[in-house]
């Protein structure tokens, strides 16, 4: 056998070995790539992503020091649409709508908590547990317009809530939904001080939301006498069909003064909860919220026959809703939450 023949044989053997190695390597790479893809793109719940929330200046931060802009839905008054305060609906909002947060709007008066405490507490408990199961944040909202007239009941309620749920990072306390024309310095600040003191006896650090004068619109007044607690944000509510640039100007002044704003309730319709969607105004508001990285909840998880409701009248609460169950508002909000698309469909 001459050297040329030997060389050809060696070359063939090298090619065979190379092909075999390439096939094995390709298979190994494919397996490795699959594993890497799964570990590099984990699906984290909002709680896993953000953890404990903290106010720093005018911003709401997560436990990593990053801005936390939470987006989600507010339930309707518990005494009138309490059938939706269940795990099936929360699962749906978490999985399909991709909510970060929900709001339990516990009605205080008008047949609510004051008259039927056990009934309303059970609804709130169910919603909190469902939120925890899904890794969502949940606002415990004392849904009233005259809470400052009965401070004792509010103190008792939030003391119970903080004692029971204060160990959970999911929980946010909204201590007064929408005050009317109570003075910020003379009425709302003393009220908040009493309620927050009751909360802090059991929960030293979870976020507290404090309503402001005139249906939670006058956030600009907070800077005159801010609360001393270091983890409080102040509530701004708007309805796109009614409120426009003048209310955003109030919000801008508050932010410039260092006030942390949380939009715990807004609507895409008129302030009475009804009317057609104002798409143009809603888009302007959503862009403003994004500009300032403000958290929000939309009103409302309800099947009441009005423009704010996301469900059509007659929608059952014990089955997972479908697209056919949604109102025009429901379809629009679902698209906003899933795709950050603020344009009219």
Query: Among this protein's residues, is 178 annotated catalytic?
Result: yes
Q: Which of the pair, 33 or 70, is modelled with greater confidence? A: 70
Opening angle at CA 285, ends 280 and 287, nearest 5: 95
21, pLDDT greater than 60: no
Could you tell me if residue 29 is inside a domain?
no
Q: Which domain holds residue 240?
A: 66-339
Query: Among this protein's residues, is 115 annotated catalytic?
Result: no
120, 174, 178, 303: the active-site residue: 178
Cα gap 163→89, rounded to integer Å: 26
Q: What pLDDT score was predicted for residue 29?
A: 38
pLDDT (tens digit, 9 = 90+) per residue, 90-127? 999 999 999 999 999 999 999 999 999 999 999 999 99
Q: What pLDDT score was predicted for residue 330?
A: 99
Q: What is the mean pLDDT of residues 333-341?
A: 98
Cα gap 313→55, rounded to integer Å: 39
Could you tell me if residue 45 is inside a domain?
no
pTM for the model stands at 0.88
120, 174, 221, 265: the active-site residue: 265
35, pLDDT greater than 90: no
Q: What pLDDT score was predicted for residue 312?
A: 99
Q: Domain count for the chain, please give it.
A: 1
Quote the crossing angle between the two packed helices 151-165 and 189-200, to the nearest 10°.
Answer: 30
pLDDT (tens digit, 9 = 90+) per residue, 210-243? 999 999 999 999 999 999 999 999 999 999 999 9
52, pLDDT greater than 90: yes
142, pLDDT greater than 90: yes
- Give the three-class secondary structure for 87: helix
What is the pLDDT of the chain when averaged over all its residues?
91
9, pLDDT greater than 60: no
Could you tell me if residue 51 is inside a domain?
no
Show Cβ contacts of residue 309 under 8 Å, excluding neighbours closer than 6 positions.
76, 300, 302, 303, 327, 329, 330
CATH of the domain at 176: 3.20.20.80
Q: Which of 230, 229, 286, 237 shows the shortest CA–CA distance to 261?
A: 237
Could you tell me if residue 325 is inside a domain?
yes
């Amino acid at each position: 056998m001459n050297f040329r023949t030997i060389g050809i044989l060696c070359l063939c053997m090298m090619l065979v070995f190379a092909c075999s190695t390439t096939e094995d390597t390709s298979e190994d790479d494919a397996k490795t790539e699959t594993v890497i893809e799964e570990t590099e793109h984990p699906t984290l719940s909002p709680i896993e992503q953000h953890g404990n929330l903290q106010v720093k200046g005018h911003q709401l931060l997560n436990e990593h020091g990053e801005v936390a802009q939470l987006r989600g839905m507010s339930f309707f008054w518990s005494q009138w649409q309490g059938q939706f305060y269940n795990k099936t609906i929360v699962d749906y909002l978490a999985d399909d709508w991709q909510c970060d947060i929900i709001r339990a709007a516990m009605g205080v008066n008008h047949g609510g908590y004051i008259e039927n405490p056990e009934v309303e507490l059970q609804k709130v408990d169910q919603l909190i547990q469902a939120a925890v199961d899904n890794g969502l944040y949940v606002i415990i909202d004392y849904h009233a317009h005259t809470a400052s007239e009965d401070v004792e009941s509010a103190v008792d309620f939030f003391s119970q809530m903080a004692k029971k749920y204060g160990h959970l990072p999911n929980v946010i306390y909204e201590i007064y939904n929408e005050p009317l024309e109570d003075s910020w310095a003379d009425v709302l600040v003393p009220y908040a001080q009493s309620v927050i003191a009751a909360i802090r006896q059991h929960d030293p650090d979870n976020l507290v939301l404090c309503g402001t004068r005139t249906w939670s619109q006058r956030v600009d007044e907070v800077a005159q006498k801010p609360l001393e607690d270091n983890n409080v944000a102040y509530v701004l509510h708007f309805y796109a069909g009614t409120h426009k640039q003048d209310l955003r100007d109030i919000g801008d002044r508050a932010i410039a003064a260092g006030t942390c704003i949380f939009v715990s309730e807004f609507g895409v319709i008129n302030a009475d909860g009804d009317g057609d969607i104002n798409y143009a105004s809603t888009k302007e508001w959503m862009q403003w919220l994004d500009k300032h990285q403000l958290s929000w909840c939309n009103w409302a998880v309800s099947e009441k026959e009005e423009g704010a409701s996301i469900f059509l009248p007659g929608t059952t609460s014990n089955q997972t809703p479908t697209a056919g169950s949604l109102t025009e508002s429901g379809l629009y909000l679902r698209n906003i939450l899933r795709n950050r698309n603020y344009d009219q469909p």
